[in-house]
Amino acid sequence: MKSSGKREKTIYDDSLTRIFLWSGFTMFIILLIVCIIIGATVLFYRRFDSEGIKIILFCLALVIPGSYGIPLFSLFKAWRQERRLGIYWKDRTDYDRPEWERDWYLTCDRGGFILCHRNYIKRIVGRQTETEIAEHARGKVYYVMYEDMDGKIRKLKFSSDSLASEFLHWFKKQVYKEMEICVKEHWNGSGGIS
């Protein structure tokens, strides 16, 4: 059977702006639904008094920063990387190559996105697994540490081992040190971590 010559469009084909918008869209919808539920509850019980309107406006004011804060941080990191390399996302030409052979690595994870150019990474330094045990978070977080082109050690944070492994496969795995750390956080009543 012959292929039609057309390839399936992926997120890799999108501009940085679209990637930014899509990476925060799920959280935006979730927060918007929560705002609508809170707004309906407030209007049902408080009617249209000034306190009820203030609560609704406060919820709506948190929707955009709450859903696009992490993607905005990811976008700033991508812009910094582009400027440092002099290589820009919009100028890529490796669309037809398999994902692990492309110059840019792209994935959406942890409410934002990870975008990294192969030339920005000098070498992989290590891989680390942390177990978070806290009231606000439980489970494992996976880090890949790398040395950037300036010699600084940086971390990429992944929500699953398979995503961290995918990144290492993309970079052509090298010898690195793997560590597992258990991080226990206890919340004391005074509003701090003990």
Q: Are residues 117 and 66 in the same domain?
A: no
DSSP for 91-119, please give it: G---TTS-GGGSSEEEEEETTEEEEEEGG
Tokens 């084909």 belong to: 13
Q: What is the pTM of this model?
A: 0.75
Q: Are residues 72 and 125 in the same domain?
A: no
Q: What is the pLDDT of residue 136?
A: 57
Q: Are residues 108 and 161 in the same domain?
A: yes
Question: Among the residues of 47-93, which ranges form H helices?
Answer: 50-85
Q: Are residues 176 and 106 in the same domain?
A: yes
Say if residues 106 and 11 touch (Cβ distance below 8 Å).
Answer: yes
Q: What is the pLDDT of residue 29?
A: 93
DSSP for 12-42, please give it: GGS-HHHHHHHHHHHHHHHHHHHHHHHHHHH
Q: What is the pLDDT of residue 135?
A: 58
Q: Are residues 43 and 125 in the same domain?
A: no
pLDDT in tens, the chain (194 residues): 444 456 677 888 899 999 999 999 999 999 999 999 988 888 888 666 788 888 888 988 999 898 999 999 999 999 999 999 999 999 988 878 888 888 999 998 878 899 999 999 999 999 999 887 765 556 788 999 999 999 999 999 998 889 999 999 898 755 455 555 555 544 444 444 43
Q: Are residues 83 and 165 in the same domain?
A: no
Q: Are residues 26 and 101 in the same domain?
A: no
Q: Are residues 26 and 76 in the same domain?
A: yes
Q: Are residues 56 and 107 in the same domain?
A: no
Q: Are residues 163 and 79 in the same domain?
A: no
3-class secondary structure, 106 = strand
- Give the range of the structural domain holding residue 48, as residue numbers without chain letter: 13-91
Q: Are residues 174 and 140 in the same domain?
A: yes
- C-alpha radius of gyration, the chain, whole number: 21
Q: What is the pLDDT of residue 43?
A: 81
